[in-house]
Chains A and B, each alone.
Chain A
Amino acid sequence: MEHFLQELWIARWALAQGLLLTVEISAAAILCGSLIGLLAGIGLTYGKWLLRLPIRALVDCIRGIPVLVLILASFYLLTFAGINLTAVQSGLFALSIFCGAHMGEIIRGALQSIPATQIDAGRAIGLTFPRILVYVLLPQAMRQIMPVWVNTGAELVKASTLLSVIGTGELLLRTQEIVGRNFMTLEFYALCGFLYFLINSVIERLGKFASRRFALQ
């Protein structure tokens, strides 16, 4: 135990850096992904078929490919399109489109469950469609989106571990490096798992709090 604490003290900055990068990447991916998802969801629900078809195809493609393959493919393939990104950036890109596709489906589901009469009512009082969306539909959809959104956030934190494969120095890769030095596999992998558990527990708590706020009074 004393040996472990000693090694932990030596590794403290590496772990802290990894933890920070994990949180940063996850937060950025959730933000970008939610934005993409919002656009995709609105397009899927209210778009004409010419808009709906390509979005549907893209969303289904992304959802049918494992995240690891998405990450590796965007790491290797984006350079062909003339886009030179670092490992962190291409990983972020992959996580964002992954999150975007899932959020798109979630938001579509939530929007479709709102009765069409709500749109009619909005029209009747003279609102334009963007206003109906912002003031009438999205607030109601939020109630359904919120719990699932939090779940997606936790999934994304977990998916960020896959960036270790393309050499992004997030928590898991840092742990692997530390283990590579001191061979204390059991202790440090357990610690790593525990740290992820902590992050996700915090997200879960926040989610419970948020869904209570958005619940019907």
Chain B
Amino acid sequence: MGYTFQFGVIEANFDHFLYGLALGLALAFAAILVGTFIGLLCAFATMAKAPLPSRLVGIYVSAIRNTPLLVIILFVYFALPQAGIRLGKLESFVFSLAIYAGAYLTEVFRAGLAGVPRGVIDAGRAIGLTGFQLALYVISPIMWRNCLPALGTTFISLFKDTSLAAVIAIPELTYQARKLNTETFRVAEAWATASVLYLATCLLIAAGLRQLERRFPKF
């Protein structure tokens, strides 16, 4: 072996790691916000009676879900400028992650909508709610509760996907670990720290989500 662990380097650069972690969380949060909007829009669009919206949503979902995120990121960052759409590093990453998240969230919300009991919707109609009121006050609350576990899983996996931002040189956690690795050659320490930070954050998010699920029991 002949390798002695020196965590001093990590200690000296720990603020970089924390900055990277915070940036990753912020990116995931921004992406899930936009992605939720896309997902809700698409999921409710599939409820329409006309076949066209469902067809379009189907194409979007299967196209995005069958394409690797890394390809989407590189396409948005490197290829779109050729078509005249020039985005900053952060914007382009959030955009890529958001359309990726949107496809997965569409499925999540669609499943949540399918779990809303028919009788509740009929009851809402019976007391004279309009379509919009029905969606807002009756369907949405039940749908959100149905989606909660899947939503949590999606958020965790999105947070893990922010590690791909390192490829286009966004200084998040993986980027910091790689940088420290090449600058100081403290290989084991750098990757162990990054892994532990990711793991701890994911476990924390998961624990928080469990609390949330307990707070809002199933109907």
Interface residues of A (CB under 8 A from B): 60-61, 63-69, 72-73, 76-77, 80, 82, 154, 157-162, 164-165, 172, 176, 179, 185-186, 189-190, 192-193, 196-197, 200-201, 204
Task: Add 5 more A-B contacts to A66-B198, A69-B198 (CB < 8 A).
Answer: A66-B160, A68-B174, A69-B194, A82-B1, A158-B69
Jot down 26 A-B pairs with beta carbons below 8 A, ordered by A. A65-B198, A69-B177, A69-B198, A72-B191, A73-B195, A76-B188, A77-B191, A80-B188, A82-B1, A154-B66, A157-B68, A158-B67, A159-B68, A161-B71, A162-B164, A164-B70, A172-B74, A176-B74, A185-B78, A185-B81, A189-B71, A189-B79, A192-B71, A197-B63, A197-B66, A197-B67
Q: Mark B141-170, 1 if CB is under 8 A from A, else 0.
A: 000000000000000000011111011000
Q: Report yes or no: B67 in contact with A68, Cβ–Cβ below 8 A.
A: no
Quick one: which of B70, B163, B199 contacts A161, CB cutoff 8 A?
A: B70
Q: Report yes or no: B70 in contact with A162, Cβ–Cβ below 8 A.
A: yes
Q: Report yes or no: A204 in contact with B82, Cβ–Cβ below 8 A.
A: no
Q: Report yes or no: A190 in contact with B79, Cβ–Cβ below 8 A.
A: yes
Whole-angstrom distance between the alpha carbons of A190 and B163 in the complex?
Answer: 23
> How close is A133's CB to chain B, nearest CB, in angstroms?
28
Beyond A68-B166, A186-B82, whether A196 also contacts B199 by CB under 8 A is no
Whole-angstrom distance between the alpha carbons of A192 and B167 in the complex?
Answer: 17
Whole-angstrom distance between the alpha carbons of A162 and B81 in the complex?
Answer: 23
> How close is A43's CB to chain B, nearest CB, in angstroms?
21
Whole-angstrom distance between the alpha carbons of A69 and B199 in the complex?
Answer: 11
> How close is B152's CB to chain A, nearest CB, in angstroms?
13
> How close is B17's CB to chain A, nearest CB, in angstroms?
13
Beyond A161-B71, A196-B66, A196-B67, whether A67 also contacts B191 by CB under 8 A is no
Q: Report yes or no: A69 in contact with B66, Cβ–Cβ below 8 A.
A: no
> How close is B7's CB to chain A, nearest CB, in angstroms?
15
Interface residues of B (CB under 8 A from A): 1, 3, 62-63, 65-72, 74-75, 78-83, 160-164, 166-167, 174, 177-178, 181, 187-188, 191, 194-195, 198-199, 202-203
Q: Report yes or no: B174 in contact with A69, Cβ–Cβ below 8 A.
A: yes
Q: Report yes or no: A80 in contact with B67, Cβ–Cβ below 8 A.
A: no
Across chains A and B, which 9 residue pairs bring their CB atoms closest together, nearest first?
Answer: A200-B66, A66-B163, A158-B68, A66-B160, A64-B202, A64-B199, A161-B68, A73-B191, A185-B79
Beyond A65-B198, A73-B191, A77-B191, whether A193 also contacts B181 by CB under 8 A is no
Whole-angstrom distance between the alpha carbons of A157 and B70 in the complex?
Answer: 12
Q: Report yes or no: B72 in contact with A193, Cβ–Cβ below 8 A.
A: yes
Whole-angstrom distance between the alpha carbons of A176 and B79 in the complex?
Answer: 11
Whole-angstrom distance between the alpha carbons of A160 and B1 in the complex?
Answer: 30
Chain B residue, CB-CB nearest to A199? B66
Chain A residue, CB-CB nearest to B83? A186
Q: Report yes or no: A172 in contact with B188, Cβ–Cβ below 8 A.
A: no
Whole-angstrom distance between the alpha carbons of A189 and B73 in the complex?
Answer: 10
Whole-angstrom distance between the alpha carbons of A67 and B195 in the complex?
Answer: 10
> How close is B62's CB to chain A, nearest CB, in angstroms?
8
Beyond A64-B202, A186-B82, A197-B63, whether A69 also contacts B68 by CB under 8 A is no
> How close is A75's CB to chain B, nearest CB, in angstroms?
9
Most buried by A among B69, B71, B75, B79: B71
> How close is A183's CB to chain B, nearest CB, in angstroms?
8
Whole-angstrom distance between the alpha carbons of A135 and B177 in the complex?
Answer: 48
> How close is B135's CB to chain A, nearest CB, in angstroms?
29
Beyond A69-B163, A158-B69, A186-B79, whether A64 also contacts B188 by CB under 8 A is no
Q: Report yes or no: B70 in contact with A64, Cβ–Cβ below 8 A.
A: no
Chain B residues within an 8 Å CB radius of A196? 66-68, 71
Q: Report yes or no: A185 in contact with B82, Cβ–Cβ below 8 A.
A: yes
